[in-house]
Amino acid sequence: MTRAPLFKRILIANRGEIACRIIATCRRLGIDTVAVHSEADRGARHVRLADQAIEIGPAEAAKSYLVAERIIDAARATGAEAVHPGYGFLSENADFARALDSAGITLIGPRPETIEAMGSKARAKALMEKAGVPLVPGYHGEDQAEDALIGEAERVGFPLMLKAAAGGGGKGMRVVRSAGEFRDALAAACREARSAFGDDRMILERYVEHPRHIEAQVFGDRCGNIVHLFERDCSSQRRHQKVIEEAPAPDLDPALRVELLEAAVRAARAVDYVGAGTVEFLVDRHGFYFLEMNTRLQVEHPVTECVTGQDLVEWQLRVAAGQPLPLAQDEITCRGHAMEARIYAEDPDAGFLPESGRVEALDWPAGDWIRVDRGIDAGDAVSVHYDPMIAKLIVHGENRTVCRARLLEALSGTRVAGLTTNLGFLQQLAAAEVFRDAALDTGYLDRDLDALLDRAAMPPTEVVAAAVLALLPESDAAPSPWGLGDGWRLGEPAPIALDLEVAGTRIPLEARVLGAGAYSIEIDGRQHAFRGQIDPAGAASVAIGDRTWRLRVHRHGDAVEICEAERRWAVHRRARFEAAAGAAGGSGRLLAPMPGKVIDVRVSAGDRVESGQTVALMEAMKMELSIKAEAAGTVGEVAAAVGDLVEADALLLQIEPD
């Protein structure tokens, strides 16, 4: 039987790294690609990579990437035969799928009925219950009256999880531990769900304490074939957002693995699934429970590709074109281990507050065992309008031990200059004993984050020495000794004042260049002699006494990042009399932490507030940010109103402290 031909041209209804990822497979298969973009993304990497691009609206996603009519018009105008939605945006929108079908354009994804059924968590649970897939006890009914939900909450019992029925990605979710917390948590979850999905319906679930999050990759075609491509462990999560994913799931009982994968295939068969999908489960010592089904390609799909050797985007394209699945179940194998770390523009030391701005320099590690899926190049901007993901760093190895070591090595070799990132956090997590032992549960990072990050720790002497090597004044080109920056003078080298700052703490020191790669530094009156060098690629060697350390150095101006095997230190050079960062405060001026939209102002001039009280809410980079009073006092000026679009550091409120 002759296979149906692949598409000649497809439109990618997305942006960032997933759009670039889809383009890569299409280029390999000889398929033309059309990118769509907002005004803010005119020069974006996915626009530069596509064969052609078309603008579809303003920067706000609600006026561009989420407008189905503009996507369809763009597909018609460019002659695209099919649309790949990626993940997020319209990828799980049944109305969009129907509109494409009406326009005679193929959706590279499941049928509209499947998207609709699985997009409603309540309906999905009912279908899974009928298919014999284990469920967490809860409520997924139609009665959404507050009193009805309170009654159901008491029946389910506490702690419980509030979840947006139409949602995903951690939006509209709250853990409620007592009846007294329920009303406020319900209001907040509904508000967030309305903003993210335009739908504030809720479901309730018994909160499973300390579960693992394990998901199965499934695939179906239009011939009735359904297979799994094994499972992934996504238990390292922060605020319900995945951080590091891996495949296969470590230390999973073999019998339970078989049951879980069989249940995933039953779940897909129950909705006659077509295309790529993911069936997510919570796993604890008692067994596994259906969580939800994502009717799209997942962010973490590369780890499955690494261990199976399959290109899941190619599978999607072939199935959407009417071809059967490339492999039968017994032909799909799982070899080795893979991990993926999500690199974000965000500040872990400031509550993971997302950042926006220009990426001034990028360096990626190289190796046959490394893959980088990215949506930006050096010089591109991380926009306030979209998710702050910079890239996904994926590594693979013959087993989990090798894979984890390679992940640490790859993270230390990655540099992103110009923005604060979570690279240091990712290194600490990958190095942590709890991750090494595969003992993470989904709540660990929210529960024990401070212990993991150890923010109060100061860098060891070898790290300070490497920073000194990187930040010492460079020598002039002239051969004269007077043109050197080594502090030379008659008798002995003069000390060079070099003040370093780490995590807001100043480290004043005096450095001396002794010659032939030898140096000394004085910290708090103590002398430390060392030998060291940094090669042009940033590999550093520091020897103190009879010990030598290998480090990685990333420098950008007066800032340098020093990477040990298990930790990254951000070090800044400061002028001797420059104030330390964060020294000012207590003025009562509450400023916008980043550009965004004011969605709630909870106080008026003259109101009394307490320290820690939430006085306003902002929405920025797909997050809801709480603005809290830093001290008790009285509200003076209210400078922002609901609906205002404000820049970073704009005055929101003035509080006169007691």
Using CA atoms, how far apart are residues 587 and 589, in angstroms rounded to an integer?
Answer: 5
- Look at residue 543 and give its three-state secondary structure: strand
- Crossing angle for the helix pair 444-453 and 423-431, to the nearest 10 degrees: 100
Q: Residue 34 forms beta bridges with which residues?
A: 11, 52
φ/ψ of 40, rounded to 5, equals -70, -20
439, burial (CB in 10 Å: exposed 0-12, middle 13-18, buried 19+): middle
The sheet with strand 52-57 has its strands ordered as: 52-57, 32-38, 9-12, 82-84, 106-107
HSE-CB at 457 with a 13 A cutoff on CA atoms is 15
What's CA 337's distance to the chain center, in Å? 21
**Torsion sign, CA atoms 244, 426, 565, 416:** positive
* Selected catalytic residue, list 45, 70, 232, 296: 296
Q: Let me know: does 208 contact 136? Beta carbons within 8 Å.
A: yes
Using CA atoms, how far apart are residues 128 and 478, in angstroms rounded to an integer?
Answer: 76
Q: Let me know: does 279 contact 268? Beta carbons within 8 Å.
A: yes
For residue 459, say if its preceding peptide bond is cis, omega within 30 degrees of 0.
no
CB atoms near residue 83 (< 10 Å): 29
Q: Residue 522 forms beta bridges with which residues?
A: 510, 527
Structure tokens at 40: 């803010």
Question: Tokens 């797909």 — which residue?
Answer: 622
- Look at residue 517 and give its three-state secondary structure: coil
Using CA atoms, how far apart are residues 103 and 13, in angstroms rounded to an integer?
Answer: 15
The sheet with strand 174-176 has its strands ordered as: 138-139, 202-206, 160-164, 174-176
- Rounded to a whole number, what is the distance in angstroms from the first to the last CA of the chain? 82
Q: Let me know: does 165 contact 201? Beta carbons within 8 Å.
A: yes
Listing DSSP states for 446-499 in one string gives HHHHHHHH-TTPPPPHHHHHHHHHHHSPPPPSSSSGGG-SS---SSSPPPEEEE
Using CA atoms, how far apart are residues 148 and 163, in angstroms rounded to an integer?
Answer: 16
Annotation says 191 is catalytic: no
Catalytic positions are 296
